[in-house]
């Protein structure tokens, strides 16, 4: 005697199967625990499809109306938490269709005319990834605004710039923050580009070969906000490069987040002491009461691994699949959902930390004075004032630095006569360029760290991000 669930499941599969799957098969085959997140997209796709079926005369107005009303009720049930998802019905598509039949009876059977779960899931998934790209761009905009705001407030806050993590030249904190604005702006553009390429509708490709019904694919594409229908039915149901591209953009964004998170970890340590994060984004130690750990930054740094792993996972799933659809592709959603969930949380946490951090301007300035950071300013002065070839100026400056190091003084503390022992034409004017403030202010070239440049760029970004 078949139970009701098995009977319903067999009806969904059709007359080819006399028995339902074993428990193991049901467990490995079902995706409802994952793809139930697609319910909004699935209902939207079904509504667009049934409207097209009525418009082309494939189904009646009465059936279309009944299906619409049933789908509306299902949406309310899912939103209200009363909808019962069944693993025996495998996925979101069959769960919704089975419930639709419970509600409206026979007309529900007309919904699946001229489509397959293959083009249905491809459409649902594109809709979800498209929305994830939009949401990510909005989150990036929030983070960029926080960075640009902090840059405006710190346009003249001097800090050491590093190469090889060694003190290089003085820069401003605002300039450093704007570097990340540029990175995240490129990330946003990658999501925008990916969205444009994925904005084609697979619905109507059916299982793999299209359909004999006189459907209007342009109508369904337009109803769902796509630019056009996909042009090849095989490609429509078998391609997941839209998700791969989106995860690729997510992975690059994650590397930028991780780099900024790493700097926050360093800057908040007592060895740097450049910034502090409040209790909102820090935790304590269970044994060391003095500790303030930048756990939020560390976790953002770790999320990069999960996001990049999601991309690798989907690449490996897709790399050996012949056309068209294969069940392997059921694994596409879990890894994509996980990647974008991690990215959304990381972006929100980073925006929060940037808005929360407090710079220690004195510590930054003191650090900028270390490591003979104004040495390049001496070389530039020798070129500009003494008309010395830069390579010669570089050699003279190296000797000046070596002498200061030998005497254990900073460059601005080195006596003029000591400098003149290396290059007699050096005058007292050289001391005017040896402060870290003067060094940063002198970098007025386009894209340079001069405070006026930074203020102008930060204002430009804030205006653009409104």
Cα–Cα distance, 215 to 361 (Å, whole number): 66
User: What is the arithmetic mean of pLDDT over 370-387?
Assistant: 93
- Known active-site residue 175: no
**Which of 210, 158, 60 is CA-nearest to residue 450?**
158
Q: Is the predicted pLDDT of residue 24 greater than 90, yes or no?
A: no
Express the helix, strand and coil content of the chain in percent, nearest 5 each: 70, 5, 25
User: What's residue 293's pLDDT?
Assistant: 84
Specify the DSSP class assigned to residue 283. B
Residue 70 pLDDT more than 60? yes
As given in the structure block, the two tokens for residue 356 are 């929360």
pTM: 0.91
In the chain, % of residues over pLDDT 90: 88
Catalytic residue among 60, 189, 269, 285: 285
Residue 20 near residue 88 (C-beta atoms within 8 A): yes
Count of residues for the chain? 466
| pLDDT tens-digit readout, 325-338 | 999 999 999 999 99
Nearest to 121 by CA among 42, 68, 47: 42
Q: Is the pLDDT of residue 17 over 80?
A: no
* Short-list 415, 417, 439, CA closest to 172: 439
Q: Is-contact 317 243, C-beta < 8 A?
A: no
Query: Which of residues 447 and 285 earns the better pLDDT score?
Result: 447
Beta strands in 110-230 (DSSP E): 158-163, 166-172, 200-201, 228-229
How far lies 97's CA from each of 47, 48, 86, 108, 322, in Å? 12, 15, 12, 7, 29
Q: What is the pLDDT of residues 36-60, one digit of tens each?
A: 999 999 999 999 999 999 999 999 9
Structure confidence by residue, pLDDT tens digits, 76-125:
999 999 999 999 999 999 999 999 999 999 999 999 999 999 999 999 99
Name the catalytic one among 18, 164, 286, 408: 164
Residue among 67, 71, 43 at smallest CA distance from 54: 67
Please check whether residue 394 is in contact with residue 422, taking contact to mean a CB–CB distance below 8 angstroms: no
pLDDT tens, residue by residue, 291-300: 678 899 999 9
**Catalytic-residue membership of 285:** yes
């Amino acid at each position: 005697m078949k139970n009701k669930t098995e009977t319903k499941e067999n009806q969904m599969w059709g007359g080819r199967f006399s028995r339902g799957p074993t428990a193991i098969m049901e467990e490995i085959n079902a995706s409802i625990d994952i793809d139930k997140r697609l319910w909004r997209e699935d209902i939207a796709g079904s509504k667009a499809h049934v409207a097209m079926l009525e418009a082309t005369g494939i189904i009646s107005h009465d059936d279309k109306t009944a299906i619409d009303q049933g789908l509306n009720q299902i949406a309310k049930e899912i939103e209200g938490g009363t909808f019962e998802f069944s693993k025996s019905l495998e996925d979101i598509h069959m769960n919704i269709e089975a419930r639709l039949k419970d509600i409206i009876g026979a007309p529900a059977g007309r919904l699946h005319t001229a489509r397959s779960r293959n083009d249905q899931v491809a459409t649902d998934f594109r809709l979800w990834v498209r929305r994830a790209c939009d949401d990510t761009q909005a989150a990036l905009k929030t983070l960029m605004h926080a960075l640009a705001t902090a840059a405006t407030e710190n346009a003249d806050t001097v800090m050491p710039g590093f190469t090889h993590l060694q003190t290089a030249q003085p820069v401003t904190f605002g300039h450093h923050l704007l570097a990340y604005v540029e990175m995240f702006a490129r990330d946003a553009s990658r999501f925008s580009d990916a969205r444009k390429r994925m904005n084609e509708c697979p619905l109507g490709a059916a299982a793999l070969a299209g359909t004999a019904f006189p459907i209007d694919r342009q109508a369904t594409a337009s109803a769902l906000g796509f630019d056009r229908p996909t042009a090849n039915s095989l490609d429509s149901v078998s391609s997941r490069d839209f998700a791969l591209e989106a995860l690729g953009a997510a992975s690059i964004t994650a590397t930028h987040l991780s780099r900024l998170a790493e700097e926050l970890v360093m800057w908040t340590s007592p060895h740097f002491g450049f910034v502090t994060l409040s209790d909102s984004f820090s935790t304590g130690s269970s044994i060391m009461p003095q500790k303030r750990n930048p756990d939020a930054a560390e976790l953002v740094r770790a999320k990069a691994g999960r996001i990049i792993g999601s991309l690798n996972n989907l690449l490996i799933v897709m790399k050996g699949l012949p056309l068209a659809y294969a069940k392997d592709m059921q694994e596409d959603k879990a890894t994509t959902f996980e990647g974008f969930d991690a990215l959304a949380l990381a972006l929100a946490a980073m925006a929060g930390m940037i808005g929360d951090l407090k710079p220690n301007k004195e510590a930054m300035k003191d650090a900028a004075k270390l490591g003979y950071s104004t040495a390049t300013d001496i070389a530039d002065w020798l070129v500009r004032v003494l008309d010395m070839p830069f390579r010669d100026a570089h050699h003279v400056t190296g000797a000046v630095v070596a002498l200061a190091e030998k005497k254990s003084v900073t460059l601005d503390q080195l006596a003029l006569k000591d400098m003149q022992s290396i290059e007699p034409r050096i005058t007292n004017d050289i001391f005017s360029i040896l402060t870290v403030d003067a060094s940063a202010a002198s970098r007025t070239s386009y894209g340079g760290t001069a405070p006026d440049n930074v203020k102008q760029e930060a204002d430009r970004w804030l205006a653009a991000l409104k």
